[in-house]
């Protein structure tokens, strides 16, 4: 069935990303928005927009009935859930089915199976996909948890059975830390997923986080894409991703790719999705989980293969067979994505919601911006702190790094704190440049105190003194330091910049 | 004279004169000629032929400055302000300390009660913001003299959390 109108049940950059693919495909778009998002970019970008409730996600973007209502009212044939919110909620899929709306994602059965980590682990183990050692059953009581932990042997990871996106995960190095870690992981899991069930995995030392994008249609055709390296994480949240991984040669690439397809086959998967693995220091890989949605970091795969994954996802939802064959998937060059978060890297990455009073996004060859903000936009406290993604493509890893550094130096966000400066630090770190990284990378990097550039520091000091002098004597008029409203021209410019598409 | 702080370091900067956009600046005893021009919403500095583009915003103690993807938090004190700061310093002592949140969010766990002793680095309160749980730690060994928040309470930035002695 040809889809003519899609409701995008999400916000910010990913809603825009999906709407862009829809526009290119001639599909009408429907936005939904919470109270605080009336003026957000996604609300304004789409053809139609429906209010769905108060600002907390639990009263808007997680409200299944409100979203279904909006879909019915707008006459949308399909709903794209993006990532987060309802993207991996099988109840939501059921409601879509009941109302004759196509859910753009895998079947309810796949989500049910893969959405729960312990069920998925059991299934993969029986299908011959290697899993990380640990429990395949949830551990509900603390005494049992203590016994299982001893049996598996520290260090261990506590993980939310319903987990994803790095929430509800804690590393436990020894028995003394178990109780507090259990409490925090459970309460975080409860808050994020409404389910506090926890299971145990043995912690693999210095692993790399490697994931494989796959696509599988209703007709059993499948594809795997070159891996993404996602080891640069902080508190189990990805910070920077790249494709391909510096650690993987073409033989291992094919082996992991085929294993990923095997996992998709076992789950009867029928959409685009991502199979996550841990790679240990001896290049053994273990199944971690399947993300049954479009990933935040999907652009790096698009950049190295030239394939629009959202378009592919929509076509699979239309029940079309995948036209591409595995031979069509060619790895071309290297791509890096920096996630730009509204967080203050100087103050242990605390959230920094607020109003964006200045915005300049980078451009030039090989640069892509997937943004959800504009100058004047307000970053609410209610949702994920991601405000955009900066992606750089180069013909080699070195060129991609150089290009990303250049692009970051052009990037300016004022009014809120962002992780832009932290990405600079990563891209100038020798281990990163050498490609010798693991999931410990960020923690180690945070321990090293890098001195700010002496020359630039002096310029900043001089500038501050001159500004103080000017402001004291009011020589310069029309100073816009305290500009609150800004002219509408600037806002419009910011909006355009926020929407600046890949400029190859 | 301005006392300009960046990270741990304090720099003494004098502005000795100005001709149009050219400022004579003395920093660490060195004289620099700085051509300082305001563009639409940023500033251009040219010093000895080297060109720098900066963006800035006034902050509580000075300026936030962005330059080539780098971010600097700079504090500035005038001579008068510096004198006040110096006279205040002598009076400071290690009394009770009030811990405030630096971010808005929701209190999900209060781990310590009034009167309880805590060690430096121990978790006192867990605050949820942007879907992440943040552990608020005790800055020193001591006793919780006052607990200002309770479970499920929402807090704004710079609300008081607890007092420690």
The answer to whether the Cβ–Cβ distance between B15 and A358 falls below 8 Å is no
Domain, as residue range, for A188: 133-202
Shortest distance, CA A266 to any CA of chain B (angstroms): 32
Q: Is the omega angle on the peptide bond into residue A244 within 30 degrees of 0, that is, cis?
A: yes
Query: In angstroms, what is the C-alpha Rg of chain B?
Result: 22
Separation in Å, CA A285 to CA A119, A276, A291, A329, B86 = 20, 10, 17, 22, 60
- What pLDDT shows up at residue A473? 62
Which chain A residue's Cα is nearest to B126?
A184
* Number of domains composing chain A: 3
> Rounded to an integer, what is the distance from CA A448 to the centroid of its chain?
26
pLDDT, residue A304, reads: 98
On whether the CB atoms of residues A273 and A290 are closer than 8 A, the answer is yes
CB contact under 8 A, B7 and A357: no
CA–CA separation, A407 and A367 (whole Å): 7
Q: Which of A27, A154, A130 is nearest to A79 (CA)?
A: A27
Q: Tell whether A184 and A281 lie within a shared domain.
A: no
Q: For residue B134, name the pLDDT band (cuts at 50, 70, 90).
A: confident
* Cβ neighbours for A10, distance < 8 A, ≥ 6 positions apart: A18, A42, A61, A80, A81, A82, A83, A84, A85, A87
Residues A236 and A192 both lie in one domain: no
Q: Could you say which of B18, B70, B131 has the minimum Cβ distance to residue A167?
A: B131
CB contact under 8 A, B131 and A479: no
Q: Does the distance separating the beta carbons of A353 and B13 come in below 8 Å? A: no
Note whether A304 and A334 are within 8 A (CB): yes
CA distance A333 to chain B (A): 25
In a domain, A456, yes or no: no
Give bridge partners of residue B77 from the DSSP assignment.
Answer: B3
Contact A192 B71 (CB under 8 A): no
Q: Which pairing describes strands A5-8 and A28-34: parallel, antiparallel, or unpaired?
A: parallel
- Catalytic, A44? Answer no
Cβ–Cβ < 8 Å for A332, A306: yes
Integer Cα distance of B4 and B136 in angstroms:
31
pLDDT in the model for residue A490: 46
Phi-psi region of A85 (alpha: psi -120 to 50; beta: other; left: phi over 0): left
Same domain, A193 and A212: no
| Residue B164 parent element (H or E) | strand B160-164
Distance CA A301, CA A245 (A): 11
Secondary structure (3-state) at A118? helix
Give CA separation, A129 vs A205, A255, A256, A418, in Å. Answer: 20, 12, 10, 39
Yes or no: say if A169 and A185 are a contact pair by the CB < 8 Å rule.
Answer: yes
What is the count of residue pairs from A and B with beta carbons less than 8 Å apart?
Answer: 157
- A316 with A385, same domain: the answer is yes
Residues of B in contact with A482 (CB under 8 A): 58
Residue A6: per-residue pLDDT:
98
Q: Which of A104, A123, A149 is the last residue of a domain?
A: A104
Q: Which two tokens stand for residue A50?
A: 């429906």
Q: Tens digit of pLDDT for each residue in B53-110?
A: 999 988 888 999 999 888 899 999 998 888 888 887 655 546 788 898 877 888 989 9
- Inspect the interface and report whether the beta carbons of A414 and B132 lie closer than 8 Å: no
Task: Say yes or no for a CB contact (<8 Å) between A420 and B55.
Answer: no
Q: Which chain B residue's Cα is nearest to A466? A: B15
pLDDT in tens, A84-93: 999 999 999 9
Q: Taking CB atoms and an 8 Å limit, are A465 and B2 in contact across chains?
A: yes
Smallest Cβ–Cβ distance between B103 and the set A350, A415, A459 belongs to A350
**Which residues of chain A does B7 touch, with a Cβ-Cβ cutoff of 8 Å?**
452, 457
d(CA A245, CA A397): 9
- Neighbouring C-beta atoms of residue A281, cutoff 10 Å: 12
Is the domain of A312 the same as that of A338? yes
- Indicate whether A286 and A363 sit together in one domain: yes
ipTM: 0.71
What is the spatial distance between Cα A155 and Cα A150, in angstroms, rounded to a whole number? 10
Using the CB atoms, write b or e for A38-66: b if 16+ within 10 Å.
eebbbbebbebbbbbbebbbeebbbbbeb
Q: Is A35 exposed, middle or buried (0-12, 13-18, 19+ CB in 10 A)?
A: middle
Q: Are residues A86 and A16 in the same domain?
A: yes
Which residues on B lie below 8 Å from A494 (Cβ)? none
SS3 call for A503: strand
Q: Is B142 left (phi over 0), alpha (psi -120 to 50) or beta?
A: left
Residue A197 sits in the same domain as residue A269: no
Structural domain ending residue among the three candidates A447, A469, A487: A447
Residues A421, B69: C-beta atoms closer than 8 Å: yes
Give the strand pairing for A343-344 and A334-341. unpaired
Domain boundary among A447, A471, A490: A447
Say if A496 falls within a structural domain.
Answer: no
Identify the segments of chain A with pLDDT beneath 70: 164-165, 473-504
**Residue B162: enclosing H or E segment and its boundaries?**
strand B160-164
Which of B47, B74, B108 has its CB closest to that of A464? B74
Domain assignment present for residue A41? The answer is yes
The whole-angstrom separation of Cα B72 and Cα B64 is 6
Residues of A in contact with B105 (CB under 8 A): 351, 381
Mutation for A interface: B68, B106, B123, B129, most A CBs within 10 A: B68
Does residue A24 form part of some domain? yes
DSSP helix, strand, coil percent of chain A (3-state; round to 5) = 40, 25, 35
Same domain assignment for residues A302 and A429: yes
Whether cis (ω within 30° of 0) applies to the bond prior to A187 is no
Rounded Cα distance, A458 and B67, in Å: 12
Q: In this complex, which of B41, B52, B70 lies closest to A452 when CB atoms are compared? A: B70
β-bridge pairing A102-103 and A78-80: parallel
pLDDT band at B8 (very low <50, low <70, confident <90, very high): confident
Is residue A109, in this structure, part of any structural domain at all? no
Question: What span, in angstroms and rounded, lies between the C-alpha atoms of A147 and A178?
Answer: 11
Question: What CATH number should be reported for the domain holding residue A78?
Answer: 3.40.50.20
> Active-site residue among A11, A170, A228, A293?
A293
In a domain, A454, yes or no: no
Q: Which residues of A touch B103 (CB under 8 A)?
A: 350-353
Give me the CATH number covering residue A342. Answer: 3.30.470.20
Q: Are A80 and A18 in contact (CB under 8 A)?
A: yes
Residue A469 covered by a domain? no
Mutation target to probe the B interface, by most B beta carbons within 10 A, among A165, A192, A467 is: A467
* Rounded-to-10 torsion of CA A141, A142, A143, A147: 100
- pLDDT score, position B128: 85
From A467, which residue of chain B is nearest by alpha-carbon distance?
B63
pLDDT digits (tens, 9 = 90+) for A90-126: 999 999 999 999 999 999 999 999 988 899 999 999 9
Give me the DSSP letters along A364-427. STTEEEEE---TT-EE-SSS--EEEEEEEEESSHHHHHHHHHHHHHH-EEESS--SHHHHHHHH
Residue A165: per-residue pLDDT: 65
Task: Looking at A285-368, list the stretches that DSSP marks H as alpha helix, in order from N- to C-terminal side.
Answer: 298-305, 309-317
Beta partners for residue A467, in sequence order: none
B27–A453 CB contact, under 8 Å: no
- The closest CB to that of A466, out of B34, B109, B132, belongs to B34
Residues of B in contact with A412 (CB under 8 A): 55, 66
Pair A54, A142 in one domain: no
CB B62 within 8 Å of CB B74: yes
Q: Which of B23, B57, B74 sits opposite A460 (nearest CB)?
A: B74
Q: Is residue A372 part of a domain?
A: yes
Per-residue confidence (pLDDT) for residue B63, from 0 to 100: 94
Q: Which residues of B are less than 8 Å from A480 in CB distance?
A: 41
Among A140, A144, A146, A175, smallest CA distance to A160 is for: A140
DSSP letters spanning A156-186: EEEEEEEEETTEEEEEE-SGGGHHHHHHHHH
Best A463, A471, A484 residue to mutate vs chain B (most B CBs within 10 Å): A463
Cα A304 to Cα A330: distance, rounded to the nearest angstrom: 8
Q: Residue A142's domain is classified under what CATH number?
A: 3.30.1490.20
Asked whether the beta carbons of residue B23 and residue A410 sit closer than 8 angstroms, the reply is no
All structural domains of chain B, each given as residue ranges with its CATH number in brackets, are 2-89 (3.30.700.30), 97-164 (2.40.50.100)
A365 and A319 inside one domain:
yes
Task: Tell me the H-state helices in A153-293.
Answer: 178-193, 250-266
| One domain for residues A339 and A433 | yes
Q: A411 vs chain B: nearest CA distance in angstroms?
A: 6
| Contact at CB, B57 and A415, closer than 8 angstroms | yes
Cβ A452–B6 below 8 Å, yes or no?
yes
Q: In Å, how far is B75's CA from the nearest CA of chain A? A: 8
| Distance between CA atoms of residues A421 and A173, nearest Å | 31
Mutation pick from B41, B50, B104 vs chain A, by most beta carbons of A within 10 Å, is B41
């Amino acid at each position: 069935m040809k889809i003519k109108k899609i409701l995008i049940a999400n916000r910010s950059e990913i809603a825009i990303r999906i709407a862009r693919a829809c526009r290119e495909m001639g599909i009408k778009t429907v936005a939904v928005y919470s109270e605080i998002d009336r003026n957000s970019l996604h609300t304004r970008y789409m053809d139609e927009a429906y209010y769905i409730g108060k600002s907390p996600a639990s009263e808007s973007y997680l409200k299944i009935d409100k979203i279904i209502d909006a879909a019915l009212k707008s006459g949308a044939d399909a709903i794209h859930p993006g990532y987060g919110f309802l993207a991996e909620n099988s109840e939501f899929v059921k409601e879509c089915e009941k109302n004759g709306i196509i859910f753009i994602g895998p079947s309810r059965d796949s989500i049910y199976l893969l959405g729960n980590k312990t069920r998925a682990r059991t299934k993969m183990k029986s299908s011959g996909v290697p899993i990380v050692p640990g429990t395949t059953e949830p551990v509900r009581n603390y005494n049992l948890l203590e016994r299982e932990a001893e049996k598996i042997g520290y260090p261990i990871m506590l993980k939310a059975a319903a987990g994803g996106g790095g929430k509800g995960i804690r590393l436990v190095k020894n028995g003394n830390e178990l109780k507090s870690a259990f409490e925090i992981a459970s309460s975080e899991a409860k808050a994020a997923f409404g389910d506090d069930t926890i299971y145990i995995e043995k912690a693999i030392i210095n692993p790399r986080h490697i994931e494989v994008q796959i696509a599988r249609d209703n007709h059993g055709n499948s594809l795997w894409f070159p891996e993404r390296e996602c080891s640069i994480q902080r508190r189990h949240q990805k910070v920077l991703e790249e494709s391909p991984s510096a650690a993987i040669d073409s033989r291992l690439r094919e082996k992991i790719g085929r294993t990923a397809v095997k996992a998709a086959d076992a789950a009867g998967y029928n959409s685009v999705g991502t199979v996550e693995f841990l790679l240990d220091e001896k290049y053994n890989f273990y199944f971690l989980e399947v993300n049954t949605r479009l990933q935040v970091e999907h652009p790096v795969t698009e950049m190295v293969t030239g394939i629009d994954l959202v378009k592919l996802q929509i076509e699979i939802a239309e029940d079309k067979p995948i036209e591409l064959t595995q031979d069509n998937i060619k790895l071309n060059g290297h791509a890096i994505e920096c996630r730009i978060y509204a967080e203050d890297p100087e103050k242990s990455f605390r959230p920094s919601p607020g109003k964006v009073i200045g915005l300049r996004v980078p451009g030039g060859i090989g640069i892509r911006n997937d943004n959800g903000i504009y100058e004047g936009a307000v970053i609410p406290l209610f949702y994920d702190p991601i405000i955009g993604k900066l992606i750089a493509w180069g013909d080699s890893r070195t060129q991609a790094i150089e290009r990303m550094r250049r692009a970051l130096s052009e990037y300016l966000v004022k009014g809120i704190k962002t992780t832009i400066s932290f990405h600079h630090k990563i891209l100038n770190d020798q281990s990163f440049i050498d490609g010798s990284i693991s999931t410990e990378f960020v923690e180690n990097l945070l321990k090293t105190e890098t001195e700010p550039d002496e020359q630039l520091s002096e310029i900043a000091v001089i500038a501050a003194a001159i500004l103080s002098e000017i402001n004291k004597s009011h020589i310069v008029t029309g100073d816009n330091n305290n500009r609150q409203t800004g002219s509408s021209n600037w806002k419009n410019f910011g909006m355009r910049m926020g929407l600046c598409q890949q400029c190859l | 004279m301005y006392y300009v702080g960046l990270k741990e370091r304090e720099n003494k900067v004098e502005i000795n004169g100005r001709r149009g956009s050219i400022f004579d600046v003395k920093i660490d005893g060195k004289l620099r000629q700085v051509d300082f021009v305001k563009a639409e919403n940023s500033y251009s500095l040219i010093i000895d032929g080297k060109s720098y583009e900066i963006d800035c915003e006034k902050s509580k103690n000075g300026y936030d400055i962005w330059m080539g993807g780098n971010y600097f938090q700079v504090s500035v004190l005038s001579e008068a302000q510096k004198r006040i700061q110096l006279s205040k310093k002598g009076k400071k002592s290690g009394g009770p300390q009030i811990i405030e949140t630096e971010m808005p969010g929701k209190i999900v766990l209060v781990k310590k009660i009034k009167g309880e002793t805590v060690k430096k680095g121990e978790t006192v309160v867990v605050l949820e913001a942007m879907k992440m749980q943040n552990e608020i730690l005790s800055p020193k060994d001591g006793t919780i003299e006052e607990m200002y928040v309770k479970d499920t309470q929402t807090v704004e930035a710079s609300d008081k959390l607890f007092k420690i002695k």
